[in-house]
Amino acid sequence: MKRNCLSLITILLFAYAAAFSQTTVTLNTSAAKTTINKNIYGHFAEHLGHCIYDGFYVGDTSKNIPNTDGVRNDIVDALKKLKIPNLRWPGGCFADTYHWKDGIGPKDKRPTMVNKWWGGVTEDNSFGTHDFLNMCELLGAEPYLSGNVGSGTVQELADWVQYTNFAGKSPMSDLRKQNGREQPWKVKFWGIGNEAWGCGGNMKPEYYADEYRKYTTFISDWENTGGLTRIASGASDADYNWTETLMKNIPGNMLGGVAMHHYSVIEWNHKSSATKFTEEQYFATMKSALNMEELVTKHAAIMDKYDPQKKIALVVDEWGGWYDVEPNTNPGFLYQQNTMRDAMIAGVTLNIFNNHADRVRIACLAQCVNVLQAVILTDKEKMVLTPTYHVMEMYNVHQAATMIPVTVKTNDYTLGTEKLPAVSVSASKDAAGKTHISLVNIDTKNTQTITVNVEGAQYSSVTGRILTSSKLQNYNSFDEPNKITPAAFNGASLKANTLSVKLPPFSVVVLELN
């Protein structure tokens, strides 16, 4: 009995210490110099499941859902509120089977194709280049086109650039005008293939580097100021040899960015349910999400060897959580719900990107509507904004702001013998002089007491918003679309330029200091 009492006392002491120990954050405002590129907050729309069809696009004959040329007005409004900076299309794996000329001209004359990657469904090509680029204009977003290298040709991609970007007289600009578009769209971002190491052709990095050089030789855009940003198909996760090979073998003047893909997944063959997951599965997912820090750091270090002036962007154009599909849905459609776990992934990942803004300058969440870690879910006329949407809306204050370097000494989130850093932080100062601090507590049980010391600036007030819920597995459904929404946060106080914050379990908070 005595031993049991001592054990109980020990457990209580540890619990007390965990609850009241401090996390310290230091903001060095005088060292703020790097702009957080707004394109870090980009999105991805692939011809996959119901992302395009019955997602973005309901067709221009739809009577029940308000739309503009077939694109849902409610989705456009929601994404404009996010300040969506760029949208990547048409894939993904789909891009290297997509022939863009099949998606232009009269819709009733467009050929069909089979989407061999995602569900084996027949694609009627009713949503094509004009539809996508006009939609980007509605959104106020830069289009990011993924070119077909796997099954396409150099001529095909060069023609696409001319079709979308050339204002003068040429075969492709004449064809564009014939199809109803007088002025070019001036597309800036071009991906030269996708996942060339896998579904894009199962290439070796040396071979792909040569293919990239060949394709980019014939892709130019002298009319547009600044030219094109040509982005190489980059590494999967920790394939550092891929990045090294590209940086070593492709001249810097041909390379605008190098991509990298990383999904937060437990095991590819043993994923969890999107909503019915254990704490062990949550912990494993967050461990994978936080691995983004190591991946970005090591890929950036390789790029620094060949590009010390950091002219070439690291482009994380696919990221997010990947789980089992929802029950009774097509497994090839990758439709999953979105819980507070996804809010945690979004918060820590965006903090990592912000803190590496010197090299990470474009990123795309996978995917925008109805696929993987979507910000929007639809069901006929209904639309739901997910917890991930709300995190990205809260964080859009960082877009084009100046990154403030942060030093974080955090408590651990422990489960059994494993531990992860409980608190993630990034900060920035906007053009109006306001400082924003985004904080995430991934711990499922413990409130984090945080002291934020600010060096080099003076503040008189603090306000904030929080995203959290009563249960980690909670989500917004079509029956309860507002179960999880941002609320005013009153857990921060400012005294003598020191900020004290009490950050609840599994919560995301964005503070504004004036």
Assess whether 24 and 101 both reside in one domain. Answer: no
Catalytic residue status for 195: yes
369 lies in a domain? yes
Catalytic residue chosen out of the listed positions 46, 195, 211, 393: 195
Domain count, the chain: 2
User: Is there a single domain that holds both residue 294 and residue 323?
Assistant: yes
pLDDT at 21: 64
Q: How far apart are CA 161 and CA 8, in angstroms?
A: 69
- Structure tokens belonging to residue 501: 């914050």
Integer-rounded Cα Rg, in Å, for the chain is: 23
- Predicted local confidence at residue 14, as pLDDT: 45
What is the C-alpha to C-alpha distance for residues 58 and 209, in angstroms, rounded to an integer?
39
Query: Helices (DSSP H) in 152-224: which residue ranges?
Result: 154-165, 171-178, 205-217
Would residue 244 show up in a list of annotated catalytic residues for this protein? Answer: no
Range of the domain at 305: 37-400
Would 10 be classed as within a structural domain?
no
Tell whether 205 is covered by a domain: yes
- Residues in the chain predicted with pLDDT less than 70, given as ranges, are 1-21, 222-226
Distance CA 334, CA 440 (A): 27
* Alpha-carbon dihedral angle through residues 163, 135, 89, 52, given to the nearest 10 degrees: -130
Q: Contact 343/351 with Cβ under 8 angstroms?
A: no
The residue among 400, 426, 460 that closes a domain is 400
- Say what the pLDDT of residue 222 is: 59
Which amino acid appears at position 305 of this protein?
Answer: K
CATH of residue 350's domain is 3.20.20.80
The string of DSSP codes covering 339-391 is BHHHHHHHHHHHHHHHHTTTTEEEEEES-SBSSSS-SEEEETTEEEE-HHHHH
In a domain, 5, yes or no: no
The Cα–Cα gap between 436 and 428 comes to: 5
Q: Is the pTM of this model over 0.95?
A: no
The conformation of residue 51, written as its DSSP 8-state character, comes to S
CA distance 51 to 370: 5
Cα-Cα-Cα-Cα dihedral of 411, 412, 414, 417, to 10°? -120
What was the pLDDT predicted at 381?
A: 95
Chain segment 81-133, per-residue pLDDT in tens = 999 999 999 999 999 999 999 999 999 999 999 999 999 999 999 999 999 99
- Per-residue pLDDT, 226: 62
Q: H-type helices in 227-269, by residue range?
A: 240-249
3-state SS, residue 205: helix
Q: Are residues 416 and 373 in the same domain?
A: no
- Tell me how far apart the terminal alpha carbons of the chain are, to the nearest angstrom: 56
Domain end marker among 334, 369, 400: 400
Contact between 234 and 259 (Cβ < 8 Å): yes
Partnered with residue 236 across adjacent β-strands are 261
Tallying the residues shown for the chain, one arrives at 514
> 223: which residues sit within 8 A by CB, 6+ positions away?
165, 166, 167, 168
**61, 151: one domain:** yes
**Is 275 in a helix, a strand, or coil?**
coil
202 and 174, same structural domain?
Answer: yes
Q: Which of 400, 415, 448 is the last residue of a domain?
A: 400
| Amino acid present at 84 | I
pLDDT at 12: 44
- Residues 352 and 438 grouped into a single domain: no
Catalytic residue among 318, 381, 455, 480: 318
Q: Does some domain include residue 4?
A: no
Encoding tokens for residue 56? 């973005």
Check whether residue 19 and residue 51 sit in a common domain: no
Q: Which pLDDT belongs to residue 188?
A: 95
55 with 73, same domain: the answer is yes
Encode pLDDT of 271-328 as tens digits: 999 999 999 999 999 999 999 999 999 999 999 999 999 999 999 999 999 999 999 9
Q: What is the CATH number of the domain that holds 465?
A: 2.60.40.1180
296 shares its domain with 433: no
- Sheet of strand 34-35: strand arrangement: 34-35, 402-403, 423-429, 435-441, 507-513, 462-467, 487-488
Query: 448 exposed, middle or buried (CB, 10 Å; 0-12, 13-18, 19+)?
Result: buried
Burial of 424 (0-12, 13-18, 19+ CB in 10 A): buried
> DSSP 3-state assignment of 184?
coil
3-class secondary-structure state, position 193: coil
